[in-house]
Amino acid sequence: MTPIEIEKVFRDEAGRALATLIRLVGDFDLAEDALQDAFAVALERWPAAGLPSNPRAWLVNVGRNKAVDRMRRSIAFRGKQQELTHELLLNASTSCDTADSAFDDDVLRLIFTCCHPSFDPAVQVALTLRTVCGLTTAEVARAFLAGEEAMAQRLLRAKQKIRLAGIPYEVPEREMLEPRLRGVLAVIYLVFTEGYVATSGANLMRPDLAREAIRLARLLDALMPGRGEIKGLLALMLLHDSRRAGRATAGGDIVLLEEQDRTLWDQRQIAEGLMLVEDALRMPGRPQSYAVQAAIAALHARAPSYEDTDWPQIAGLYEVLLRISPSPVIELNHAAAISMVDGPARALDLVHALEARGGLKGYELLPAVRADLLRRLGRRDAAREAYQAATAATQLEPLRRFYARRIAEMG
C-alpha cells in the first residue's frame, strides 16, 4: 500500500475509530493523540504487511495500546497508573467491531455527548465537526467565520467541560432524547453536508462522511420511530446523495445540475427517499423543515430533465421554509429558485437586499450566486468580479477551477 492509499483508509475510518477510542479512554484529547499514533504505526507497517481485514478495529486496538503507553509515561497519572491501565484493559475485552445497533454505536454516543443541552448550539456543532467529521480546527473556524485561536479555545473549554462535569458518553434514556434531538439532527446534517461538498481540499465530495451521516440517521430513526423530522432528514440526504455519481467528472471537476447525466443517479436511493418524504409529510402537525427540504429535493429527483423541473413549486416550497424556519441561507436558495421562475433580474434584487442586511457576510456561496445571476444578465465585468470574490472565499479546489473557467468565459 502507498501512503496515499493508507491516508484514504484512515480518512474513511477515522471518525468511527475516534468515537470508539473516546469511549475506551474517556478523554477527547488522549483519544485524538492515540489515533494519530496508530496512524503513524499504520504508515510504518501497512506498506509491507498490507491492509488489515478490519482497518478500523486495527486502528482502535493500536490506538488503545498507545493510550495506555501515554498514561504510563504521564507523571500526572503515575499515582493512578495501575487502576487506569486495568480499566482500559477491561474495556479492551469488549470487541471494537461492534454491531451497528442503535444502543451500541460509538459515533451516535459521541454525537449525543457533543449535543449535551449544557452546550450552546454553536459549540455542539463545532465539537461535532472537529471530532466526528475530522475537520481541523482551522477548517472549523472558517465554517464559523471565526479566528483559529479563538475556535481552539472554544473547543478546549468544551472538552474540559465534558471531562470535569462528568458528562456521560452514552445515548440517553428515551425520556432524555427529546432535548437533544434538534442538535443531533443538525450535526448529522452537517456531517452529511461536509461529505456532500467538502469545506476544503482537492475533492468535491467525501462520500465516507455522507454514508456515515445516512447510517446515523437510520440508527436514529430506529431509536425514535415515527418522527417526521428524522424521516425528513434521512429522505433529504438520500435524495441528495443519489446524484453523487453525476456530480463530478473523472478528473474531479464539478458537473452542474443542469449538465448532469441523470441516468447515473441512484434510482434505488431515489425510490427510498421519495417514500420517506411522503411518510414525513403525512405526520401530524405543521411540516418540519427537513421534510420540506426533502420535498424540494424530490422535485429535482422526479424531473426527467433540468428544463422540466417544477421551478414554481420549488420556489413555493422555499417560501414555506422561510415561514417555518427562516434563515439567510434559505433566502439565498429561494432567490436562486426565483431566478428560474421570474428571471435573474428579480433574483438579483433579492440577493442585493439580503446582502444589504448583512445576513450572509463571509458566506462563500453568496458571491457565487450573485456571479451566476450577473452572468445570465450579460453583465460580464460585474460577474467576473463576483467570481473572483467567490474564488477568494473558498478553499475547495474543484470550486476554484470552476470559478476560473467562468472568469475565462467572461473575457
State the pLDDT at residue 118. 85
Distance between terminal CA atoms of the chain?
45
Res 94: pLDDT: 45
- Spatial neighbors of 188 by CB under 8 A, at least 6 apart, are 111, 213, 216, 217, 220, 233
Residue 372 phi, psi dihedral angles, 5° rounding = -65, -40
**Which pLDDT score, from 0 to 100, does residue 82 have?**
54
Prediction pTM value: 0.79
H or E segment and range at residue 201: strand 200-201
Q: Are 203 and 211 in contact (CB under 8 A)?
A: no
113 C-beta neighbours (distance < 10 Å), count: 25
> What is the structure's pLDDT at 139?
77
Which pLDDT belongs to residue 324? 93
The pLDDT value given to residue 99: 39
The b/e string for 330-357 (b: 16+ C-beta within 10 A; e otherwise) is bbbbbbbbbbbeeebeebbebbeebbee
d(CA 219, CA 175): 17
CA distance 28 to 351: 42
pLDDT at position 81 is: 55
Domain ranges across the chain? 1-98
Bridge-based pairing of strands 395-396 and 200-201 is parallel
Spatial distance between the Cα atoms of 350 and 348, rounded to a whole number of angstroms: 5
CA distances from 263 to 20, 155, 247 (A): 39, 44, 12
The rounded average pLDDT for each run of 10 residues, N- to C-terminus, in the chain (411 residues) is 85 85 86 92 92 92 90 62 52 45 66 85 84 80 80 90 82 76 87 89 90 89 89 98 97 97 97 97 90 98 96 98 94 97 98 90 91 97 97 95 95 81
**How high is the pLDDT of residue 23?**
85
